[in-house]
Structure 1
Amino acid sequence: MRVTLTDPLALIPGFGETHREQSAAYPAAPPPWQPVHTVYVPADRFGAGTVAAWGEAALELFGRHLPAEDMAGVFGMDEQVAGAVHEKVAAKLGTEPVEDLRVDFEDGYGPRPGEEDGHVAQAAAAVAALHADGTLPRRWGLRVKSFADGDPARSVRTLDGFLTGVMERAGHLPAGFVVTFPKVLMRAYLGQFADCLEALEGGLGLAGGTLRFEMQVEAPQTVLFLDPSLVAALGGRLAAAHFGVFDYTASCSLPPHEQRLDHPVCDHARHVMRTAFAGTGVELSDGSLAASPASGDGHAVRELWRRHAELVRHSLSHGFYQGWDMHPSHLVSRYAAVYHFHLSHYEEYAQRVRAWEERREAAGGVMDEPATVRTMTAALRRADLALGKT
């Protein structure tokens, strides 16, 4: 082949550096395991038996109100998929009901000036006991108070006491730790909190970069400063961004009956979060349903499950594969919606990927674009991780 330009790279002297910056900012990697939820438990109500109690309560509701033959009707599933989902939910609740645990010292706990130190010590002891028993969830941690409250010393003291207590009792920091940093109204708070984490690492003898945190997006002010540069600016400590539906909708002056996860203003915030952190490796998590069954009767429980599953599906459709669960009943609808989401398209995606690899049309004459194939491959991997196939 004849060409006109003999050395194209000589015309692009900055290409190597630019490409290295791209690779650092947007690492091309398959999706890792991510918990499907974060369970929030107020610190004063948390103990070594909390995880087991949540699993038992969810399994009891599941057994009492959701026989296999009712699965499809309650959640609007195809009968064939519903059977597999029912089996997987039952198994999950019996073996690993909680994938991600957060001991809450913020809104779910409130201001307790004379009590917080004691609850910090109790929480650390409970975490160490769970770890010793082999029942500490794969992801775990705490939510501290916001710097926006005007008392960062309280926030850091709680984190310090919690980590120090866990390490003294366990002998090390168990894997899976993350701390949630709420109500980030000023970008500077993120850097200040990251500096505190670095200081704690030095004091506790932890390797640099061990302590990572997830920021909460709970106000329009926060959305305005979200961008990929945050990841590098925080030295890789930003692990995730979690959406806070109730604070966010309140900040937007929505009336109480419109404070819901599927409101359009929440969709906008999620889209900004998705855009800001796309390709950076920062995980995204949606918010919660702040409701529990109105009573113990089957109708009330099933209505809650339907509504919660509807919200979970809404999150999943927006590419948010994790959300918050605030009550044991939510575990049933969370796993039901997640498993149905992954199973309902699994075979279709697998067939289309195989067809593309074999350079032939998929069933129905579908000719997929490479970007779609990459998306389906990622979806299959995410499904395998969520379903416990790998």
Structure 2
Amino acid sequence: MTSTRLPEHILARFDAVLDQVDARLGAGYPGPDGRAQPIHTVYVPADRITPSTPLDWGASAVTLLDRHRDLLSERDGTDSLDAVRARLLDDPVQDLRIDFEDGYGFRDDAQEDAAATAAGEIIAGWASAGGPAGFGIRIKGLSGAERGRALRTLELVLEAMGGVPDGFVFTVPKIRAVEQVSALVALCDGFETGFGLREGTLRFELQIESPQAIVASDGSAPIARMLTVAERRCSALHFGTYDYTAACGIAATDQALDHPAADHAKAVMQVAAAQTGVWICDGSTQIVPDTEPENALLNHHRLVGRALRRGYYQGWDMHPGHLVTRWLATYDFFRQAVDVAVPRLLAYLDRRSGGVIDEPATAEALAATVLRAVHSGARTEDELRITAPELSPAVLRALVAREPIPHDPR
């Protein structure tokens, strides 16, 4: 370091303060953790789940796609429909929650005990034999009336799984206070001790569907604090469309993913989770392609595209028909995005001048988009290798992390 007019004790104080800030920011905002975010989470009530549910949903989705192919072709801007159909046949569901909350309702204890054991066995089967990449359960809430039942269901699922497979999480609905998250951390600690699991094995998702989770009584925005007290156990924030908008006093006919009240809540979630490695998952729509399939397909396609443009890359799917438009909108979005991103990334790597001069932050976002496209299947690594061999996964990951570009780009 060159000489300075600063007294040595001032420089030492300056460094000491900022070193603490760097450590705190590094711990709280570590950035992406390398996990591939799924494009959706499928919710299935616990009394309707079977080992074949993912493929059954895919088969139903293919039938719907074939029946409405002309309509869907009008929304297919990148000739993706055949690829979507193949995806629905082969790997239609990336992430699935077996629901013990609203979708399941209240049963007697013997019924829910049996359903919890069955759910754990099904998840164990998926983990060993090519099921969805992600899976888990949604337990009942943490209020006094439901708390005991929620804990018992989770414990029975853990017992039936015979271990915790990679990809397992449990979703906790109706989170309203920071202290509830602290209690969840203690719960995970206790179950890990009781089952002999490695520390940090259990992770959970917080479902944000109460206004108090967005603005607390003291005027604070508690989600950021929730993520801090979660001690890296919170993997995602999920939005609850209908509970949230109902609690805000929105009339039933106007409750929707694109209502301004919902947009505000999701924007707060997005900012609170930014750079933490915690995913944001959009909520659900109750409009399904049963009685008016064409209107429902168009509506869901619109909502998925809208969410993607706002940076919500994952959302709930509640019906096999939602898979059709989820995959179509996702493939279309990322194929178009890759067509824009690849030339700009190549120019950035070569530092060539052009119509757009990108900065490291923009290169980070462009590279993240290409990686998401590959993870979703919208584009493949082989396609990228042909069109842009310089943009290997290693190079893209380095750009996202703002690290030096590897000399060996493989």
TM-score by structure 1 length? 0.90
2:170 to 157, 172, 179: 179
Equivalent residue number for residue 384 of structure 1: 374
Say whether the 8 Å CA contact 2:213–2:223 is kept in structure 1: no
Q: Residue by residue, what CA displacement relative to the aligned partner does 1:62-101 show, whole Å, maximum 9, x if unpaired?
A: 223215xx5441x2x43xx1x2x11221121111111101
Query: Which has the higher relative contact order, 1 or 2, with Cα contacts under 8 A spaced 6 or more apart?
Result: 1
What amino acid is aligned across from residue 121 of structure 1 in structure 2? T
1:315 to 269, 285, 307: 307
Secondary structure of 2:16 counterpart: coil
Quick check: 1:52 aligned with 2:55? yes
Gaps of 5+ in 2: 216-220, 382-410
Alpha-carbon offset, residue 361 of structure 1: 2.8
Alignment map for 1:164-313 (pairs within 5 Å) = 164-167=159-162, 172-224=163-215, 225-295=221-291, 300-313=292-305
Coordinate RMSD, CA, aligned:
2.0
Equivalent residue number for residue 349 of structure 2: 357
Say whether the 8 Å CA contact 2:181–2:229 is kept in structure 1: no
Say whether the 8 Å CA contact 1:34–1:322 is kept in structure 2: yes
2:90 to 95, 98, 104: 95
Alpha-carbon offset, residue 262 of structure 1: 0.5
Say whether the 8 Å CA contact 2:204–2:236 is kept in structure 1: yes
Quick check: 1:372 aligned with 2:362? yes
Q: 1:32 to 1:121 in 2, by over 3 A?
A: closer
Q: Residue by residue, what CA displacement relative to the aligned partner does 1:149-197 show, whole Å, maximum 9, x if unpaired?
A: 6331110000000110111xxxx32211000000012221111122111
Say whether the 8 Å CA contact 1:218–1:243 is kept in structure 2: yes
Equivalent residue number for residue 14 of structure 1: 17
Equivalent residue number for residue 140 of structure 2: 145
Distance 2:363 2:130 in 1: 38
Secondary structure of 2:344 counterpart: helix
Alignment map for 1:3-82 (pairs within 5 Å) = 4-5=4-5, 9-10=11-12, 11-29=14-32, 32-66=35-69, 71-73=72-74, 75=75, 77-78=76-77, 81=78
What amino acid is aligned across from residue 156 of structure 1 in structure 2? L
Distance 1:342 1:9 in 2: 48
Equivalent residue number for residue 318 of structure 2: 326
Say whether the 8 Å CA contact 1:214–1:239 is kept in structure 2: yes
Secondary structure of 2:143 counterpart: helix
Q: Residue by residue, what CA displacement relative to the aligned partner does 1:268-324 show, whole Å, maximum 9, x if unpaired?
A: 0011001111101111100011122233xxxx3232111001111121122110000
Secondary structure of 1:207 counterpart: coil
What amino acid is aligned across from residue 286 of structure 1 in structure 2? D
Distance 1:376 1:33 in 2: 16
Say whether the 8 Å CA contact 2:73–2:81 is kept in structure 1: no
Q: 1:304 to 1:188 in 2, by over 3 A?
A: same
Equivalent residue number for residue 110 of structure 1: 105
Secondary structure of 1:122 counterpart: helix
Deviates more, 1:237-246 or 1:223-232: 223-232
2:335 to 318, 321, 343: 343
Q: 1:87 to 1:25 in 2, by over 3 A?
A: same
Distance 1:28 1:142 in 2: 26
Gaps of 5+ in 1: none
Distance 2:126 2:367 in 1: 36
Say whether the 8 Å CA contact 1:25–1:228 is kept in structure 2: no
Secondary structure of 1:341 counterpart: helix
Alpha-carbon offset, residue 31 of structure 1: 5.5
Deviates more, 1:228-237 or 1:139-148: 228-237
What amino acid is aligned across from residue 252 of structure 2 in structure 1? P
Alpha-carbon offset, residue 30 of structure 1: 7.0
Q: 1:309 to 1:128 in 2, by over 3 A?
A: same
Distance 1:182 1:93 in 2: 29
Q: 1:117 to 1:29 in 2, by over 3 A?
A: closer
Secondary structure of 1:346 counterpart: helix
TM-score by structure 2 length? 0.85
Say whether the 8 Å CA contact 1:31–1:382 is kept in structure 2: no
Equivalent residue number for residue 155 of structure 1: 150
Say whether the 8 Å CA contact 1:228–1:280 is kept in structure 2: no
Alpha-carbon offset, residue 229 of structure 1: 3.5
What amino acid is aligned across from residue 372 of structure 2 in structure 1? R
Q: 1:366 to 1:46 in 2, by over 3 A?
A: same
How many residue pairs were aligned? Answer: 371
Secondary structure of 2:89 counterpart: helix
Percent identical among aligned pairs is 37
What amino acid is aligned across from residue 285 of structure 2 in structure 1? L
Alpha-carbon offset, residue 112 of structure 1: 0.9
Q: 1:42 to 1:332 in 2, by over 3 A?
A: same
Q: 1:243 to 1:280 in 2, by over 3 A?
A: same
